Copies of this chain bind each other. A is one copy, B any other.
């Protein structure tokens, strides 16, 4: 019997998940959906086109629906934790978009509820399911590169968000680097102990005035990991050539490194040199398949009662890292211990 899924939040990411659930994930059925803007946004019609008619403007209708086995939390970031908690308390399995929350106490509270209820809880760190990054992490796990000594995550967006978005984003370390903190944990298989962050406003020198927060758009973070490995993340809000997402793991027995997926693998060479393609434009292109793979993995965890691959604690740790990085960056790059 199919796993019956209810989706809360039918914006861009909710629709992405719904389409993937319908088209690309076997063994599931989307049976209910909720979105406060159901009618204003046209979501009701969009859902009806996909035969999803059990819809509501109130997430409680999904969370409490006895026909729902698992809830996808795809609502606005500030509501993730509350909705997820409600779903967990209703005994539902939960797939929750990242970040769970920026409030550590709330996340810990949620963790406790997950443990108590014994449901499956997965956080949407989809990049772990990217074919390239996964192969780097697998190389580390397999021992192919020995003990990891230096890990470098390069992660750059193709275009900066508007300052109005930045104003409510929590800053680059919470909003953007959160994925890379998770990547460092994933690839090193270890936890960050201390973090130093340095940043500048190089993409938009007026970012702080325009956003009203002391944020940066270019940042480099260095971490000492519990296993001795040193990890470095570099972020830019604007790589004009496209989404630049690369991971390098250097260790005692070798190195694993990945490249971007390109628009195509064709090269044209003339007297002016060789011209080849740019990376895929942004996350919808690059992580398209990863979005699907993570959900397949979640479904597998629920249906076959396996441990989730990216659990609630994996939602907590990157927030603690973002916290430390933010503090370091605002204090001249001093090393800041990552809270437990």
Q: Which A residues lie at the B interface, using CB under 8 A?
A: 22-24, 131-132, 134-136, 139, 144-145, 147, 149-150, 152, 154, 156, 194, 196, 198-200, 202-203, 218-220, 222, 224, 228-230, 232, 234, 236, 238-241, 244, 248, 250, 252-261, 263-278, 332-335
Contact = CB atoms under 8 A, between A and B. Distances in A.
A15 to B, nearest CB: 14
A273 B276 contact: yes
Nearest to A224: B198
Considering residues A196, A218, A258, A269, which has the most beta carbons from chain B within 10 angstroms of its beta carbon? Answer: A269
Given A149-B236, A259-B265, 20 more contacts: A139-B266, A144-B270, A196-B196, A199-B230, A200-B230, A222-B333, A240-B254, A241-B274, A244-B250, A254-B268, A254-B269, A256-B267, A260-B265, A273-B278, A274-B275, A274-B277, A274-B278, A332-B335, A333-B335, A334-B334
Tell me the number of copies of this protein: 4
Nearest to A140: B268
Nearest to A274: B276
Contact of A234 (B24, B150, B156): B150
A109 B236 CA distance: 42
Considering residues A250, A258, A259, which has the most beta carbons from chain B within 10 angstroms of its beta carbon? Answer: A250
